């Protein structure tokens, strides 16, 4: 670093006035950012990292907020500067990228207009010129058909393309500082990898300084030069990324680092394909939805959310179900519980066909089949106390009124919650506590199968780790089978015996967790694993090192291609992949993959491979061959 830093924050204090007095969200924060540097601001939710980022640009709003200290950009003070001065700096000198690109873009304004608007606000150019520049920017950030996209709207784009548009907008006036507030948190791993590459590349090209706000230390390890760790409104540690990962100083940093789920961490499962009759069997299950269409539901396209999937789950087994958003994993999980009706195929639970079971029959089974939802707070009735929430399934199940309270306390203890919490309302719980209540409720009637739909993705990493531990223990102690749906492969690994990978409604690979993570047979599985950020700054990939498949995203499930669904994104695709749907092939080590040209398969394994009877009905008969 030479001379004065570009952006310098000193003793920044942000206090929110609330009914119970003032709350300090940031307390004496000091940061320096030099040109061309990527500084990561890391912390859990509520640590004050986003508040810090927003107050640099004066975007916190003026009501009930008191901001103190100093924010100097290029020698000039921004805190307390007149609005016109702030407006000159915002967008032109310091630009921002937000977490959720769908809500951060105006839904009824064309993408190109939103970018051009910013150029016009800062530069004296003609409207046509600004529009041309918007298209050029969209092309620069890797958006295909930028002319058409500039005329389109945010909802027409995939999550990754939206975030690229947002970045194009932020870059439109060549800012010298880029503030990114959790820009990849809402994205799939594969898309996240592309966005991180893009940010790094743009930094190299423009020499802009980047303040990268995130909760994800693995992302930090991939991207940052320096790291500042925040906790309870204070910066507790600042170091270069190597120093921080090699010898973390503050206990808070160490706790964060320990909680990061790793692809090379210990496996959670242990039981390899348990014997006996399966608990849940899905046979050629299909769930189709109609999208678009005319007045009376005619026309439109049919989306195959789940497309001919055959799966079995043994009693007490933990099966992970992974894939990018829109791959059908949640639909499959809900259909298995008959929360969504399947279009065809069959579902058997404990040997009983429940595909077309009536309401009454399902109700009698509900105690044995339970689900835990993603949004822990949204799935708890806000007008009921914890005691009533956990007690309700007991009452419905006919437990004697006198015995309910004792059982509720037992359940709370099982999910490691203090008995005092029984009297709380949902809004008085933290995210982790709320999710534990959700789990306690699901356990109330001693289910044999627990479906977990992204149970930890809304939680902070340290809380995530605790909940994952809890699930592993519950499974071991109670022998419950788990169907664990998640997009985070490192989390799935910590819980599952076997892992199933879905892509565009199809089951593409299924195998024992160890084999699947170490030697993925399907190129899509390999792509997903490749994209997971590694929490080690020394193992950082160089630009352009990523495999071809990471490019592009899953797209709309409506456009299911012929042949192998993955072939448009696959680097190994050949003629057969475009024409023939690959059957599921069984390999000697337990992996099952639907691929004509599998990875990580030895010639011996290839010759010993057999066609799985679980293959989709429309699949070809060709045995896989080396690429």
Partner 1 sequence: MLVVLFAVSVLTFLIFNVIPNGDPAVRMAGKSPTESQVEAIRAEWGFDDSLAVQYVETMKNVFGGSAISYFTQLNVRDQIVDGIPRTLSLAIGAAFLWMLGGVALGMLGASRAGRLSDRLITLLALTGVSLPVFWLGALMSYYLGFKAGWFPNGGYVPLTEDPLDWAYHLVLPCTTLAILFVGFYSRVLRSNLLDTMGEDYVRTARAKGLPEREVMRRHVLRNSLIPIVTLWGLDFGAVVAGGAILIEVVFDLQGVGQYAADSVRTLDVPPVLAVTMFGAFFIVVLNTVVDIVYAALDPRIRLT
- Residues of this chain that bind partner 1 (CB under 8 A): 57, 59, 83, 86-92, 95-96, 98, 100, 103-109, 117-118, 121-122, 153, 155-156, 166, 169, 292
List the helix and strand counts (H, then E) for the chain: 22, 23
Select from 137, 197, 145 the least CA-distant residue to 173: 137
Phi/psi of residue 338, each to 5°? 60, 30
Structure tokens at 78: 């921004």
Structure tokens at 593: 């993959």
Select from 569, 504, 560, 494 the least CA-distant residue to 530: 569
Structure tokens at 391: 């007690």
45: exposed, middle or buried (C-beta count within 10 Å: 0-12, 13-18, 19+)? middle
3-state secondary structure 332-395: HHHHHCCCCCCCEEEEEECCEECCCCCHHHHHHHCCCEEEECCCCCCCCCCCCCHHHHHHHHHH
Structure tokens at 259: 């909680």
Q: Are 37 and 225 in contact (CB under 8 A)?
A: yes
Q: What is the DSSP string of 594-625?
A: --SS-SS--HHHHHH-EE-TTS-TT---PPP-
Q: What angle do CA 54, 537, 265 make, to 5 degrees?
A: 105
Please count the CA atoms within 13 angstroms of the CA of 558 that sit on its side-chain side: 9
Structure tokens at 363: 């109700």
Alpha-carbon span 29 to 48, nearest angstrom: 9
Phi/psi of residue 403, each to 5°? -90, -10
Structure tokens at 269: 């499962």
3-state secondary structure 260-291: CCCCCCCCCCCCCCCCCCCCEEEEEEEEEEEE
Compute the least distance from the CB of residue 178 to partner 1, in Å: 11
Q: Are 462 and 44 in contact (CB under 8 A)?
A: yes
Those residues whose C-beta lies under 8 Å from the C-beta of residue 105, and which sit 6 or more positions away, are 111, 114, 154, 162, 165, 166
Q: Are 125 and 119 in contact (CB under 8 A)?
A: yes
């Amino acid at each position: 670093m030479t001379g004065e830093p570009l952006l310098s924050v000193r003793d920044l204090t942000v206090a929110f006035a609330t009914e119970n007095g003032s709350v300090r969200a940031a307390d004496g924060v000091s940061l320096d950012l030099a040109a061309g540097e990527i500084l990561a601001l890391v912390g859990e939710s509520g640590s004050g990292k986003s508040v810090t980022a927003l107050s640099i640009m004066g975007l916190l709003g003026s009501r009930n907020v008191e901001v103190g200290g100093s924010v100097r950009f290029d020698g000039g003070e921004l805190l307390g500067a007149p609005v016109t001065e702030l407006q000159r700096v915002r967008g032109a000198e310091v630009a921002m990228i937000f977490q959720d690109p769908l809500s951060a873009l105006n839904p009824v304004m064309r993408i190109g207009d939103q970018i051009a608007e910013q150029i016009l606000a800062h530069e004296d150019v003609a409207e046509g010129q600004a529009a041309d520049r918007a298209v050029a920017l969209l092309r620069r950030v890797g958006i295909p058909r930028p002319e058409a996209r500039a005329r389109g709207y945010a909802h027409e784009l995939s999550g990754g393309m939206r975030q690229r548009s947002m970045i194009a907008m932020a870059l439109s006036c060549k800012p010298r500082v880029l503030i990114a507030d959790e820009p990849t948190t809402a994205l799939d791993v594969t898309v996240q990898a592309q966005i991180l590459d893009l940010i790094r590349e743009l930094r190299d090209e423009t020499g802009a300084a980047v303040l990268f706000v995130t909760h994800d230390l693995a992302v930090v390890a991939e991207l940052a030069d320096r790291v500042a760790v925040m906790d309870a409104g204070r910066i507790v540690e600042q170091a270069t990324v190597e120093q921080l990962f090699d010898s973390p100083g503050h206990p808070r940093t160490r706790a964060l680092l320990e909680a990061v789920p790793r692809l090379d961490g210990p496996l959670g499962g242990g039981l390899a394909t348990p014997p006996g009759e399966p608990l849940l069997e899905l046979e050629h299950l299909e769930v189709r939805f109609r999208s678009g269409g005319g007045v009376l539901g005619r026309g439109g396209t049919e989306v195959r959310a789940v497309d001919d999937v055959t799966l079995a789950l043994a009693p007490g087994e933990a099966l992970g179900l992974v894939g990018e958003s829109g791959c059908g994993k949640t639909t499959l999980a809900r259909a298995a519980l008959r929360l969504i009706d399947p279009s065809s195929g069959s579902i058997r639970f404990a040997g009983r066909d429940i595909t077309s079971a009536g309401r009454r029959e399902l109700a009698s089974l509900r105690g044995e089949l339970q689900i835990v939802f993603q949004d822990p707070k949204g799935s708890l009735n806000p007008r009921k106390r914890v005691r009533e929430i956990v007690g309700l399934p007991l009452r419905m199940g006919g437990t004697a009124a006198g015995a309910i309270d004792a059982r509720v306390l037992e359940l709370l203890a099982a999910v490691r919650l203090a008995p005092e919490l029984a009297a709380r309302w949902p809004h008085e719980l933290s995210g982790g506590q709320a999710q534990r209540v959700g789990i306690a409720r699901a356990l109330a009637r001693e289910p044999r199968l627990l479906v977990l739909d992204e149970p930890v993705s809304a939680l902070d990493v340290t809380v995530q780790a605790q909940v994952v531990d809890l699930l592993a223990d519950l499974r071991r102690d109670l022998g419950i089978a788990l169907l664990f749906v998640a997009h985070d492969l490192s989390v799935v690994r910590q819980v599952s015996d076997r892992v199933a990978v879905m892509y565009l409604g199809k089951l593409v690979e299924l195998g024992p967790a160890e084999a699947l993570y170490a030697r993925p047979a399907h190129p899509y599985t390999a792509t997903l694993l490749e994209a997971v950020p590694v929490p080690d700054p020394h193992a950082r990939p160089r630009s352009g090192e990523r495999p071809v498949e990471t490019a592009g995203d899953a797209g709309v499930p409506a456009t299911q291609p012929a042949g192998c669904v993955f072939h448009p994104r696959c680097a190994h695709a050949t003629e057969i992949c475009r024409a023939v749907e690959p059957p599921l092939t069984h390999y000697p080590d337990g992996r099952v993959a639907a691929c004509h040209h599998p990875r990580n398969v030895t010639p011996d394994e290839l010759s010993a491979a057999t066609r799985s009877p679980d293959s989709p009905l429309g699949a070809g008969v060709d045995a896989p061959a080396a690429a």
